[in-house]
Amino acid sequence: MSSFSSRLSQVAILTTSLVAFESAFETALSRDVFDSAAVKAFADNSRHGVVAALVWAIFLADCGALSSTACFEVTLAAVLSSLVDVDHFIAAKSLRLEAALSLPYRPFLHCSTLPLVVLASTAVANRLFDFPRLERFGLLTFVSMMSHHTTDGVRRGVWLPPLSGAITISFGLHLALLAFFIPHAAFAYLKLGGDRISAGLLTPTATTRAPFKGQEVV
């Protein structure tokens, strides 16, 4: 199988898995399968981890980098996406689930302007200090947080200050964003960045900055 058709089949399998997983989870929610707030919160948080892992895996398949070494980044995407909900407890100043779930406002990590700021900051830092892995991490953080916000957005809308109010998104649009737009847009961003962005957090990167005058190149 050629590398292009191999990538295409990986993307197709992962996209189908993501759509099937999200559809099954929504069906479970609509049928009130989760019988307590604690179970529902645990299931919801695990869902964010699975979704972010699949979205990042689609991005890696686009890059032709879905190998055993990709496991680290896929796991990191899942952890970062799940960690977003920690802000409920921080804002409630309590470890009690009831307090965390009854906030009268959206806590700060659910602000969708934040991942944009993270990505932009790491891009600027990379340009200034030649730090390709940092921008890669910024891209991974952006994708992980946006996949969380998109999933939450079906029920609560997407909070994107300075725009006022929450932007509501349908379940179909949320699937399109998760399975198509976010991973492929991240791939396009990587391609546009060229060698400036690291090909992997664990991948050795070539120095992109030109050597200083008189510096020996070995």
How many whole angstroms from its chain centre is CA 185? Answer: 12
Sequence length of the chain is 218
Helix (H, G, I), strand (E, B) or coil at 167: strand
152 binds Zn ion (CB under 5 A): yes
User: By CB under 5 A, which span of 6-14, 17-25, 148-156, 193-201 interacts with Zn ion?
Assistant: 148-156
Nearer to Zn ion, 110 or 136 (CB): 110
Nearer to Zn ion, 153 or 183 (CB): 153
Helix (H, G, I), strand (E, B) or coil at 208: coil
User: By CB under 5 A, which span of 70-78, 121-129, 137-145, 150-158 interacts with Zn ion?
Assistant: 150-158
Nearer to Zn ion, 132 or 153 (CB): 153
73 binds Zn ion (CB under 5 A): no
Distance CA 4, CA 10 (A): 10
Distance CA 55, CA 60 (A): 9
Distance CA 116, CA 160 (A): 10
Nearer to Zn ion, 97 or 201 (CB): 97
User: By CB under 5 A, which span of 19-27, 53-61, 77-85, 118-126 interacts with Zn ion?
Assistant: 77-85
Give the per-residue contact string, 88-127, with Zn ion (x = CB under 5 A; - = no): ----------------------------------------
Distance CA 74, CA 148 (A): 14
The minimum distance between CB 44 and Zn ion, in angstroms, equals: 8
User: By CB under 5 A, which span of 25-33, 54-62, 152-160, 208-216 interacts with Zn ion?
Assistant: 152-160
Nearer to Zn ion, 73 or 85 (CB): 85
Residue type, 147: S
Distance CA 167, CA 144 (A): 19
Distance CA 206, CA 218 (A): 13
Helix (H, G, I), strand (E, B) or coil at 159: strand
The minimum distance between CB 111 and Zn ion, in angstroms, equals: 11
135 binds Zn ion (CB under 5 A): no
Structure tokens, 89: 């407890």
Applying CB under 5 A, the residues found at the interface with Zn ion are 85, 152
